[in-house]
Amino acid sequence: MKLSLSVRVAEAPGSKEETVMRIEQLVGIAAQTGYEAVCMRASQIGIQTPLEEITGVRQLLKSRSLQVSMVTGDFPIPINDHRGPNALRNITPYLDLADMLETDLIRIAMKKEEDIVWARRSADEAAERQIRVAHQSHTKSLFETVEGSVNVIEAVARPNFGLIYEPSNLMMCGQTYGLETLKQFAPYLFNVYFQNYRPDGTGYRQLRLQDKGGINFDQIFEGLDQIGYRGYVTVHDSPLADTEQAAIQSYNYLKQLIG
């Protein structure tokens, strides 16, 4: 398994659009810490970003020997509102962005059954460019439950359409996320995303990945090993205000689990 750092760790609290750190500094932290890739989001580079800036960031990543594990090309997809599925109606700019960043995976959003036909069309266009399309395990989407996720993937029925496994969202939806879930997801698993939450009586409190009482990462890595997953494991978010410490602490914890 390979470790990736999401640029989400440098987004401002409560925002998917504003950042607290420039991409140049974040890339430096990722490279110095030992990450093999970054997971790009529109807060740093998206379909709205000028071409010359995208090209510059790709050259920066190459100079630091970093890949792009996945790209989320606009703001509505991570915000997860009614506009999220709009990308499926015109997927070309998102594929262009993936090509420019030299990644083969893009994240999309789906809310209603009618989005399935558009997901098929988007996956077909992506396949022409050897790009994969994936939906994250997420609340308030067609991917809230294990069964629902598998049903949607099988309804789309495209080999380059799959899943980003994120256990915290599954837990929030009352789903199990251990070995049996991973076995069901295994044929469709394109990416693994980690953040850590625990119920606090009124909702959920975010924890560092290494904190106990939330997601059972030991159990998850046993499951990932059993299904033979060898792709990216992405640090998605952290409650730490210090972005550098969030990146370093998360890396050290996950590196230990990967072995």
Average pLDDT over residues 49-63: 97
Average pLDDT, rounded, for the chain? 96
- pLDDT tier for residue 259 given thresholds of 50, 70 and 90: confident
State residue 114's pLDDT score. 97
What average pLDDT does the segment 184-188 reach?
98
pLDDT higher than 90, residue 14 = no
DSSP 230: -
- pLDDT more than 90, % of the chain: 95
Q: Any idea where the domains of the chain sit in the sequence?
A: 2-258
Average pLDDT of 72-77?
Answer: 97
Does residue 172 surpass a pLDDT of 90? Answer: yes
Nearest 5 degrees, angle CA 146-CA 148-CA 150? 70
Residue 202, pLDDT score = 84
Residue-level pLDDT at 151: 98
Q: Is 13 exposed, middle or buried (0-12, 13-18, 19+ CB in 10 A)?
A: exposed
CA pair distance 234, 242, nearest whole angstrom = 18
Residue that wins the pLDDT comparison between 259 and 183: 183
* H-run or E-run covering 171: helix 167-172
First to last CA, the chain: 9
Q: Which of 5, 2, 1 is nearest to 249 (CA)?
A: 5
Q: What is the mean pLDDT of residues 92-106?
A: 98
pLDDT band at 257 (very low <50, low <70, confident <90, very high): very high
| Mean predicted confidence (pLDDT) in 57-79 | 97
| pLDDT tens-place string over residues 162-171 | 999 999 999 9
Answer yes or no: are the C-beta atoms of 209 and 253 closer than 8 Å. Answer: yes
State the pLDDT at residue 220.
97
Read off the pTM: 0.94
Going by pLDDT thresholds of 50, 70 and 90, the confidence category of residue 64 is very high
For the domain 2-258, what is the CATH code?
3.20.20.150
* Confidence check: pLDDT of 59 > 90: yes
In tens, the pLDDT along 188-232 reads 999 999 999 998 888 899 999 999 999 999 999 999 999 999 999
| 79 neighbors 54 (Cβ within 8 angstroms) | no
Other C-beta atoms lying within 10 Å of the C-beta of residue 54: 18
Q: Are 26 and 7 in contact (CB under 8 A)?
A: yes
d(CA 111, CA 229): 28
Kindly report the CA angle at 244 between 239 and 246, in degrees rounded to 5?
A: 30
Q: What is the percentage of the chain residues whose pLDDT exceeds 70?
A: 100
For residues 105 and 239, what is the distance between their CA atoms, to the nearest angstrom? 26
